[in-house]
Amino acid sequence: MLTTENLPRPPYGTYHDWYASQDTAHLIRKTQDAENIFRKTGITFAVYGHADSSEKLIPFDIIPRIISGREWRKLAQGIEQRVLALNAFLDDIYHKQEIIKAGRIPRQLIENNVAFLPEMIGFKPPGGVYTHIVGTDIVRTGEDQFYVLEDNARTPSGVSYMLENRETMMQMFPELFTLNKVQRVEDYPRLLRQSLASLAPPGCKGRPRVAVLTPGIYNSAYYEHSFLADQMGVELVEGGDLRVIDGKVKMRTTRGYEAIDVLYRRVDDDFLDPLTFRPDSALGVPGIMDVYRSGNITIANAPGTGICDDKAIYSYMPEIVEFYTGRKALLENVPTWRCSEADSLKYVLEHIEELVIKEVHGSGGYGMLVGPTASKKERAEFAEKLAAKPGNYIAQPTLALSTVPIFVNKGIAPRHVDLRPYVLVSDKVKIIPGGLTRVALKQGSLVVNSSQGGGTKDTWVLED
């Protein structure tokens, strides 16, 4: 919040004055209020492998993260460029594969990748859109320096927290919203519905029927699935509700089977269709891929999009952006060593104590090593795994991540954060101003994942 001269950074000016007039005990009470609101509403997530504590709250911090309009415009441009490139890339690798032919990406990296779906080759999804919803993870390292950590292009989660965090802040501190002009995020569900409906299959007559597909109440993100369905005013369906009848995907209603035009699925590719992918999946719909390929349903995001947010592909993002947009990427990529390459592997093993090493297919902050904070033993064990299967890993330098203030019992303390803005793609790209800020609550920690003790806070983009 402060500059090097110990003055509030400009976007925090108004907030800083307000904060100075608040009583700490009062703010501690507000933090408890927030927790009660979340618990009562059932805004919880499941941590797998914990039977007793099957539903957990994500800690919420009451100090908003504030971004100026100017900073945001710059970020948004970079995100838009990147998302357009991702879609162009997907279209290309499932059709002409020009980027491979041009020698910019190795063929085996695509075709041997489990996230690449041969079933999608030669198929154009409705409207040519692959990634309807993207969550781009961004970190800041300096005043004007942003890095993209990850492009979540499969089924990015967390948007319900963005919305509930705002709701909670407005309920608890209404005066802050008259003091600051904060850009709206509340339109997200409406925009999402519009965006999904606009990409209904060409054969769909009348108002498209949209539904959200969830794995069910035991899924860690179930709250979000029900929240989004509710806010959009569409059915929340499970695999067991759906059946392919007469070449359409239909849901079982109390009056019989009714067709669905657009399915926002929160189920991974593998589980989507037991006839095409994992035969043991009970979460999907047998035959849905045939319906999809014959153009009778839109699946969002399209199957096979995972190939573009794979961590091994990530290191090629600067090339990908340049190849499809003809311009240098506006947002920087974190320098990445691909351990599959012998030189890189050697470098990584020699500098293991400086690097963050991640599994190519891992997520949720699992299966990674943070070199500088790991013990000698942990590093040695990890080095063995790495040497055994180098192709499974990438390494990145530990960035000097910016910190933002959070509220602790003694007042304000700095913590590392990242930011996940949400992007909707239809015939245009819409970026919701703000996003989900995740905080590493442990002092000094760089891991922001909720499954690893991370929290969240409201994110403000000011109008200026």
Partner 1 sequence: MLGRTANGLYWMFRYIERAENIARLVDAGLRVSLTRAGSSDEDWNGVLESAGVREAYDTVHSELTAANAVDYLLCDRNNPSSVMSCIEAGRNNARMVRTALTRETWEATNEAWIDLKARLSRKWKAADLPELIDVIKHRCGLIRGAFHGSMLRNDLYNFSRIGTFIERADNTSRILDVKYYVLLPSVSQVGSALDNMQWESILRSVSAHRSYGWVYEGEYQSGNIADFLILNGRMPRSLAYCYAKITSNLGYLAEDYGERLKAHETADAIKKTLKPDAIAEIMDQGLHEFLEDFVSRNSQLSAEISEGYRFYQ
* CB-nearer residue toward partner 1: 199 or 237: 237
Q: Which stretch binds partner 1 (CB under 8 A): 99-107, 165-173, 237-245, 329-337?
A: 237-245
Kindly tell me which residue out of 42, 106, 364, 411 binds partner 1, with binding defined by CB under 8 A: 42
Kindly tell me which residue out of 80, 224, 238, 269 binds partner 1, with binding defined by CB under 8 A: 238
* CB-nearer residue toward partner 1: 238 or 261: 238
| Other Cβ atoms closer than 10 A to 230 | 13
Residue 219 has φ and ψ, to the nearest 5°, of -75, 145
Please give the single-letter amino acid code of residue 174. Answer: P
Least distance from partner 1 to the Cβ atom of residue 261, Å: 16
Q: How far is CA 380 from CA 319, 371, 375, in A?
A: 33, 11, 9
Least distance from partner 1 to the Cβ atom of residue 401, Å: 36
**Interface with partner 1 in residues 194-233 (CB under 8 A):** 216-217, 222, 226, 229-230
* CB-nearer residue toward partner 1: 39 or 104: 39
CA distance 368 to 373: 12
CA distance 188 to 362: 28
Q: Please tell me the count of residues contacting partner 1 according to CB under 8 A.
A: 22
Please give the single-letter amino acid code of residue 190. Answer: R
What are the beta bridge partners of residue 259? 250
* CB-nearer residue toward partner 1: 43 or 439: 43
Least distance from partner 1 to the Cβ atom of residue 37, Å: 10
* CB-nearer residue toward partner 1: 26 or 40: 40
Output the six-digit token pair for 79. Answer: 């995100």
Q: Is 405 exposed, middle or buried (0-12, 13-18, 19+ CB in 10 A)?
A: buried
Helix 188-197 and helix 159-172, axial crossing angle in degrees, nearest 10? 150
Least distance from partner 1 to the Cβ atom of residue 256, Å: 7
Least distance from partner 1 to the Cβ atom of residue 130, Å: 27
Please name which of 459, 447, 463, 448 lies closest in space to residue 422, comparing C-alpha atoms: 459
* CB-nearer residue toward partner 1: 243 or 379: 243
E strands within 59-154? 60-67, 133-142, 145-152
Kindly tell me which residue out of 142, 256, 279, 326 binds partner 1, with binding defined by CB under 8 A: 256
Q: Examine residue 409 and say whether the peptide bond preceding it is cis (omega within 30 degrees of 0).
A: no
Q: Which stretch binds partner 1 (CB under 8 A): 14-22, 134-142, 236-244, 339-347?
A: 236-244
Kindly tell me which residue out of 29, 104, 181, 252 binds partner 1, with binding defined by CB under 8 A: 252
Kindly state the helix (H) or strand (E) to which residue 419 belongs, with its residue range.
strand 411-420
Q: Which stretch binds partner 1 (CB under 8 A): 40-48, 110-118, 179-187, 390-398?
A: 40-48
* CB-nearer residue toward partner 1: 232 or 307: 232
- 39 near partner 1, rule: CB under 8 A: yes
Least distance from partner 1 to the Cβ atom of residue 435, Å: 24
- 254 near partner 1, rule: CB under 8 A: yes
CA distance 117 to 100: 16
* CB-nearer residue toward partner 1: 238 or 269: 238
CA distance 187 to 347: 47
**Interface with partner 1 in residues 438-457 (CB under 8 A):** none
Least distance from partner 1 to the Cβ atom of residue 197, Å: 18
Measured torsion, CA atoms of residues 156, 159, 165, 166, in degrees rounded to the nearest 10: 140
Measured torsion, CA atoms of residues 243, 249, 251, 257, in degrees rounded to the nearest 10: -90
Residue ranges in contact with partner 1 by CB under 8 A: 39-42, 216-217, 222, 226, 229-230, 235-238, 240-241, 251-256
